[in-house]
Chains A and B, each alone.
Chain A
């Protein structure tokens, strides 16, 4: 079964600093990977996705992620964070279902401080 592991439950950073949120996956089949963001008291919003092609994926709000097959990683990065990036970030992969239900990591809470 596919799964993802998010290595950090909380990441505190100062505004305008770079950030990397780590995600490792395990899969024996074709890999599709997603990053979703959940702002306080809101639903999940897709940040970016990797389906195939270029290993560097750019998403919304200045985020990007790099698919690394040899390290089975899909880390999320942003060169300069803002207060408004404070949220919980989830890495996800399709589960075993035929309709592509998602399996999420445990999430990483990003706290951006002034």
Chain B
């Protein structure tokens, strides 16, 4: 079965650089979520999209932006990178827009900021 695809799997950047993370949801899933998991931390919700429109925002810094495209893939753009942005970034997708919906997670992108 198709899963959530994230690319790249690993990314190394320097401070003040920019990074773009991509997420391809499971086919026919119209909701995408982004989470950030710092070292030894629990995943923190960043932002979500439903039908290509931003739906909810969590603890996403102003330096980050995201969008969902017509083919439902999503990109997380991160500018002016800081050392503290080093983390595992997960994308999840869901076929149902409701509380209690099941989210299917990708393997994540590990971002290292040097």
Contacts and interface: CB of A to CB of B under 8 A. Distances in A.
Interface of A: 30, 32, 34, 36, 42-46, 49, 51, 90, 94-95, 97-107
Interface residues of B, number: 29
B64 interface: no
Interface in B85-113: 90, 92, 94, 97-108
B62 interface: no
Contacts of A100: 94, 97-101, 103
A43 B42 contact: no
A104 B104 CA distance: 15
A32 B45 CA distance: 17
A45 B50 CA distance: 22
Contacts of A43: 4, 90, 105-108
B31 interface: yes
Given A43-B105, A49-B100, 7 more contacts: A34-B102, A98-B55, A98-B97, A100-B97, A101-B33, A104-B43, A106-B42
